[in-house]
Each structure stands twice: as structure tokens, then as C-alpha cells.
Amino acid sequence: MVTGVMNIEEGASLPAKNTFQVFMCSIIAAVGGLMFGYDIGISGGVTSMDTFLIKFFHHVYEKKHRVHENNYCKFDDQLLQLFTSSLYLAGIFASLAASYLSRRFGRKPIIMSASAFFLCGAILNFFAQELGMLISGRILLGCGIGFGNQTVPLFISEIAPARIRGGLNLMFQFLITIGILAASYVNFLTSTVKDGWRFSLGGAAVPALILLIGSFFIHETPASLIERGKDEEGKRVLRKIRGLEDIELEFNEIKRATEISNKVKSPFKELFTKSENRPPLVCGTLLQFFQQFTGINVVMFYAPVLFQTMGSGNNASLISTVVTNGVNAVATIIAVVMVDRLGRKFFLVEGATQMTATQISIGALLLKHLHLIGPITSRSVPLIVLILICIYVSGFAWSWGPLGWLVPSEIYPLEVRNAGYFCAVAMNMVCTFVIGQFFLSALCRFRSALFFFFAVMNVIMGLFVIFFLPETKGVPIEDMAEQRWKKHWHWRKYFKQN
């Protein structure tokens, strides 16, 4: 917990200019989101390609083309789902390792390592000859994702001035959406090429190379430098990224926080046993849980599969996915521009409401028109579902998508920041693994009811934000406890009264 002297008055920001150095470092680091997004977008398209299924999952290919096969069960196969989900299982362990390593060695080396892992995984997938080689490549990609997702949002939150922290951090999510869009377009281009899936999977090397090269030009964060006893270097970087000579106020804030942090020998023990850490732990972890159970990865992983299930051809389903992902990227720009003006809670509640309405509508349409066997007879229904999915995706893209990463990165005190953010990332990975591994099986068994389940989850998460999440807009990270948690009607009871 950060308390004591030197706290900033509520509503005030530490002095800082908007410097080129901050924007450059934030954008380069956010390329980690481009890697993550590319993988999310590439998986569903590749698993719908016949050439990929013939080589690795021939039994799924045969089932897909049976005339009398259950529409909801065409892609129900545990090994096929393992292709998608294995990455996230590896990401859980990688993010745990990164939480320790980034505290000891800094954020920058971990970002560099993330790109190296991802590059190796992309190369292995490109040359894959059998399923074991394919899954091994996915595991390496997962290590890259775990390192990147654990470190990049923290890096940006620590390097950005408080007043523009939200917008800069959302560059991570914006590049996730660009990665998804790029992947869907690559899938469309390679779907008719012999062994086109190799180019789709191998294309992951491009964002990995961009991040690897770019990471040589970014600064380590002042908080990480000072935490590791490099005070003078921390001051030098502060002056450069803030564009000011007088950085003593912010340096003292960070120094005070690091002194508390360095007294903590076991951050995870501190996180789970100290009552003051419970509010950010609960909120940060639940935000990532809720983010995944908005149902977004159902759309992002399996959109081509879903459109094919409704009777669209392979190319039509991939085009629909490109359109959906284009909406995703454009809508994220709204969050980047407006989140530091309207605040986090506004977007989270509005997004939950929008996604609830569209999930109910999609579920109702599928319930009425998509029967167990045979395509949808109405030509208008797939188009209506596409429009609804676009509305749904836009609601996610300016709310739970970016803010599910932003808020957990800015609410933990320094002494447990790596450990706390690991819990958020691990929750993301676990939920993504579960959805990636079991969604197609769940679609087979529960059919359209699955969309009603996600609608209910969106209602629950909207209510959680209204009642339990404080607004974090414009608050210095090291002063979050004083200005927000201690004044919240529910969470204040976890803090000792002075």
C-alpha cells in the first residue's frame, strides 16, 4: 500500500510534457498487442481451411463435408481445439515467469524475450509437418504472448503521464485489433493458395520482428530502474520522457513506492495476505474474467467457423470475418481518443449493455433459423447476424477489450504490481484456454443457448462495474489507494484507519 507524505492532491497530475520519447516507447511496446491480435485472428481462419484440416485433422474435414452432419457439431474435436488453446495454457506459465523476471531484470528484457519466443513459434509453425510440431510452435507462441501480455501494459502505464495514461495504454488493445484485422485479411488471401495455412501461421513472424527490432530503441521504465537501485539512471530517463529538468516530485513518489516495494520479499504472499491489496486483486482479476466471458473470443477465434455453420461458403465466411475485425479496429480508436475524457466506468457499463442486447438477438435468430441439419434457408439471416456481430464487436472494442487490460495495469501498488498483474493475465489465459478448448464442444451441446449464457454474463459484469469499480481516470498510479480505494463505499473497510 502506498501511503505517507508526498501524496498528490486529488485531481492533480504530476508535471510532465507529452514527449516524443513517451509516444515512441509506448507504440513500440504496444506491438506486443499486434502479436497477440494476429494469433487470435489467424486461428479461426486456419482451422476453417480445408488444406489445413486435411493435413492435420482429416477426420474433422470429413465430418465438415457430411451432408447430414449436425450444424452445431461440425467442428467439435478436442485436438482441433487444442491447436487454438495450447498457446494460452503455455501463456499462463510464461506470464508467471515474466512476473518474477521483470521485477528482477526490468521490463525491457522481457519485452525483447517475448518477441524472440513468438518469432521461434512462428517459424516452427510455418515448417510444421505433423501435429506435434504444430502444437510445439503454438507453445512457443504462448510463451511470447505470456511474456508480452504480462509486461507491455505495465511498461506503458509506468512510462506514461497520468493524464494520458489511458489513451497510450489503449494502444496495446488497438494494435491487438489491428493484428486481428491483418490476420483475417491474410487468411482471406491465403485460403485459395496451396498450403496457404503455412503463410498464415508463418506471418506471425512479422509483428515479432517489428517488436524485436523496436525493443532495442525503448527506455526501461523509471519505476523499474529505481526499484532495482539505479536511481541516477531512473532520473535520467524521467527527464527524457517527461521533457523536464525538475522531476523531483515524481522521482520522490516513485522512490517512496520502491522503498516499500523492496521491503516486500514475497510479493505473492503480500498480495494474498494483506487486506489493503484485496480491492485491486479482486477487481483486476475479475475484470479479466469478465472480459473473456463477454463471449468475444467465440467471435474472434471461431468467426469463420460460425459463419460456415450458418451456411456461408469458406470465402464468404472469411470476408465476413474481415468486415467484423475492421469494425473492431475502428471502434477501438474511439476508446483511445475518449477514455481519458469520459472515464473507464462509462465505457465499461455502456459496452456491457450493448453486448447484452446483441447476444440475445443473435441467440434468438439462431434458435429460430439454424436447425440441426441443413443450411439456413433465409438469405437475410446470415447478413443480419453479421450486422449484429459488428454491433457487438464495436461494443466490446471500446469497452471491455481495451479496459480489461488498462484498469488492472494501473490499480496495483508497486510492491505487488507484477504479482497482481500476473493474476489478471493468468485469469485471462485460463479463461481463454477454457473457451478455446471447449467452445466448439459447448456449441455442439448447448447450441444457441450459449449466446444467452454470454448475455447473462454481460449483465452481471455491468452491475459489478457500477457498484464495485472506482473510476481511475487521471489518478497517479502510486496514489491510487489514497484517492480511490480508501474512499470507496465497499473497499475502504480493507484499509486500516489512521
Q: Lowest-confidence range among 8-17, 32-41, 321-330?
A: 8-17
The residue range of the domain holding 456 is 20-218+264-493
Cα–Cα distances (Å) from 380 to 308, 377, 384, in that order, read: 15, 9, 6
Kindly state whether residue 226 falls inside one of the protein's structural domains. no
Average of pLDDT values for 178-184?
Answer: 90
If phi > 0 it is left, if psi is from -120 to 50 it is alpha, else beta; for residue 226 that is: alpha
Residue 323 belongs to a domain with what CATH number? 1.20.1250.20
Cα separation, 305 vs 301, in Å, equals 9
Kindly state whether residue 8 falls inside one of the protein's structural domains. no
pLDDT at 64: 66
pLDDT level of residue 3 (50, 70, 90 thresholds): very low
pTM of this structure: 0.79
pLDDT of 302 over the 60 cut: no
- The residue with greater pLDDT, 373 or 391, is 391
- Residues of the chain with pLDDT > 90, as a percent, come to 47
pLDDT at 7: 44
427-466 exposure pattern, b = at least 16 Cβ within 10 A, e = fewer = bbbbbbbbbbbebbebbbeebbebbbebbebbeebbebbe
115-126 exposure pattern, b = at least 16 Cβ within 10 A, e = fewer = bbbbbbbbbbbb
pLDDT level of residue 391 (50, 70, 90 thresholds): very high
Q: Mind listing the pLDDT tens digit for each residue in 57-99?
A: 888 778 766 645 555 566 567 777 788 778 888 999 999 999 9
pLDDT level of residue 245 (50, 70, 90 thresholds): confident
Q: Lowest-confidence range among 333-347, 379-393, 414-428?
A: 379-393
pLDDT level of residue 316 (50, 70, 90 thresholds): low
pLDDT at 47: 80
Q: Which residue, among 156, 109, 184, has the nearest Cα to 402 in the 3D structure?
A: 156
pLDDT at 204: 95
The residue behind cell 459447448 is 442
pLDDT at 285: 96
pLDDT at 317: 64
pLDDT of 348 over the 70 cut: yes
Average pLDDT, the chain: 85
Q: Mind listing the pLDDT tens digit for each residue in 451-488?
A: 899 999 999 999 999 999 999 998 888 789 999 999 99
Kindly state whether residue 3 falls inside one of the protein's structural domains. no
Q: Mind listing the pLDDT tens digit for each residue in 402-455?
A: 999 899 989 998 889 889 999 998 998 888 888 777 776 777 777 778 889 999
Cα separation, 107 vs 101, in Å, equals 8
Tell me the three cell numbers of residue 93: 506459465
pLDDT of 148 over the 80 cut: yes
Cα separation, 413 vs 420, in Å, equals 9
Kindly state whether residue 380 falls inside one of the protein's structural domains. yes
Kindly state whether residue 81 falls inside one of the protein's structural domains. yes
pLDDT of 147 over the 90 cut: yes
Kindly state whether residue 356 falls inside one of the protein's structural domains. yes
- Residues of the chain with pLDDT > 70, as a percent, come to 87
Kindly state whether residue 69 falls inside one of the protein's structural domains. yes
261-293 exposure pattern, b = at least 16 Cβ within 10 A, e = fewer = beebeebbebbeebebbbbbbbbbbbbbbbbbb
Kindly state whether residue 1 falls inside one of the protein's structural domains. no
pLDDT at 2: 34
pLDDT at 205: 97
Tell me the three cell numbers of residue 311: 451456411
pLDDT level of residue 11 (50, 70, 90 thresholds): very low
pLDDT level of residue 194 (50, 70, 90 thresholds): confident
pLDDT of 496 over the 90 cut: no
Using DSSP, state whether 38 is helix, strand or coil.
Answer: helix
Domains held by the chain: number: 1
Spatial CB neighbours of 16, under 8 Å, sequence gap ≥ 6: 161, 163, 242, 243, 244, 250
